[in-house]
Amino acid sequence: MTGWWLWLYVTSMAGGTLLFLAWWARPRGVPAIEYQVAVAVPVWSGLWYTALALGGGRVTDAGGQSVYWARYADWAVSASLLLVALALTATHALPGRHPVLPATLVGLNLAMIAAGLLADLSADPGSRYRYFTLGTVALLGIFAVIWGPLRSVARRQPDGLRHAYVEAAAVLTVLWIGYPLIWLAGPSGLELLGPTTDTALFVLLSVASKVGWGALDLARLRSLARRNELAVAGRP
């Protein structure tokens, strides 16, 4: 059953890639960089999960549990790109992209992913939960930037884009809270969930985070751009 969930994920990433490419072919005033980031997320993620589905991308820890290191290779890039996409939404109508904020988000994300991998690889429970705590602190730092300085930047935009940022930030925050909770309840943590359930939950959450969230963000930007085009043309 674990393999079935992995292939479902790969198929979902392929579908997301085709959707974003189709939208890119008709950009509706949304800059190309938005589509490039959106496409890169499922392409990168789908490749790593293909490796998992084919039996690679994993090692066995001292306790005999499989550690899916390919997940962390995926998240290091795909999660960083999602944060870049959110930063692009926050600065969509602004002349400057405020590069320090997305760089800070990416740095915190890499720290969080590294802590998660070290936690998974740790045989000692004490070390495992220390690394988990460090990763959680990094995640809270990401939320602090999203809802602090990045939101302040987004407020300088017109109402529609400001609301689009808040909506995108809220959905991403809710989805990302699920990752440490699943990790904690799964085989790496308290072992309340079995390997198949753990994989299924990560698959569903990741599809929602990468394809679902990306589609929501892009659809909102396309809608606002189309509305502006109609307003300039004098059409209702």
Q: Specify the pLDDT at position 61.
A: 60
| Cα–Cα distance, 17 to 207 (Å, whole number) | 12
Tell me the two tokens of residue 131: 């690394």
pLDDT in tens, 2-13: 788 999 999 999
* Tens-place pLDDT, residues 92-147: 988 777 789 999 999 999 999 999 999 988 888 889 999 999 999 999 999 999 99
Answer yes or no: is pLDDT of 216 > 90. Answer: yes
pLDDT at 228 over 80: no
pLDDT at 232: 44
Write out pLDDT tens, residues 56-69: 888 876 556 678 89
Residue 216 is encoded by which pair of tokens? Answer: 């929501």
Cα dihedral 59/65/66/68 (nearest 10): -100
Confidence (pTM): 0.92
Check residue 1 and give its pLDDT.
55
CA torsion 166-154-161-222 (nearest 10°) is -90
Which residues, in sequence order, are bridge partners of residue 67? Answer: 59
Let me know: does 3 contact 53? Beta carbons within 8 Å. yes
Residue 172 banded pLDDT, cuts 50, 70, 90: very high
| Distance in angstroms (rounded) separating the CA atoms of residues 60 and 75 | 20
The percentage of residues in the chain with a pLDDT greater than 70, rounded to a whole number, is 93
Neighbours of 233 (CB within 10 A): 7
Going from the N-terminus, what domains does the chain have, and what CATH number goes with each?
A: 2-233 (1.20.1070.10)
Residue carrying structure tokens 């001292």: 62
What is the predicted pLDDT for the residue at 230?
45
Measure CA 74 to chain center: 10
